Structure 1
């Protein structure tokens, strides 16, 4: 993923030549806007996401095992 700085630079470079004198100010404004909007998205870092995903997979495995055990116990009880 591109950094905020890279995105802001690309946006400011895409501006027409007539605004070249204002390019640095516009670049700073783009960067500030991107940072404030991304902060509102409530994103989590990739490492935190991966840790939660691994924990969910582990929990899902335990749940599957418990469901099989309950089914076996119910079958045993009904037999």
Structure 2
């Protein structure tokens, strides 16, 4: 979610672009726009850059662990296949 400072700045910029007749109500308009923006953005289920970067790091670590485990499983399967091939049939 956006931090409150960014949300206030967006609402202020939107209010500044209103026609001059509505600028008399600028504080009220800014407050209403801030509330509307906050509601709209919360429904969009956005994440911050920090949250995104943290999840990207977790994903990279998990992917590396998966590759390591896949290599170990492949090595173990190769060992098991060789052992069963070397055993004489009874």
Provide the TM-score with structure 2 as the length reference.
0.71
CA drift at 1:71: 1.5
Query: Where does 1:1-79 land on structure 2 (aligned, <5 Å)?
Result: 3-79=6-82
CA drift at 1:5: 0.6
Say which SS state the counterpart of residue 74 (structure 1) adopts.
Answer: helix
In structure 2, the CA distance between the partners of 1:47 and 1:20, relative to structure 1 (3 Å rule), is closer
Q: What are structure 1's unaligned runs of at least 5 residues?
A: none
Say which SS state the counterpart of residue 46 (structure 2) adopts.
Answer: coil
Asked which structure has the greater CA Rg, the reply is: 2
- Report the count of equivalent residues: 79
CA drift at 1:31: 0.6
CA distance, structure 1, for counterparts of residue 45 and residue 23 of structure 2: 34
Q: What are structure 2's unaligned runs of at least 5 residues?
A: 83-90
Provide the TM-score with structure 1 as the length reference.
0.78
Bigger shift: residues 1-10 or 42-51: 42-51
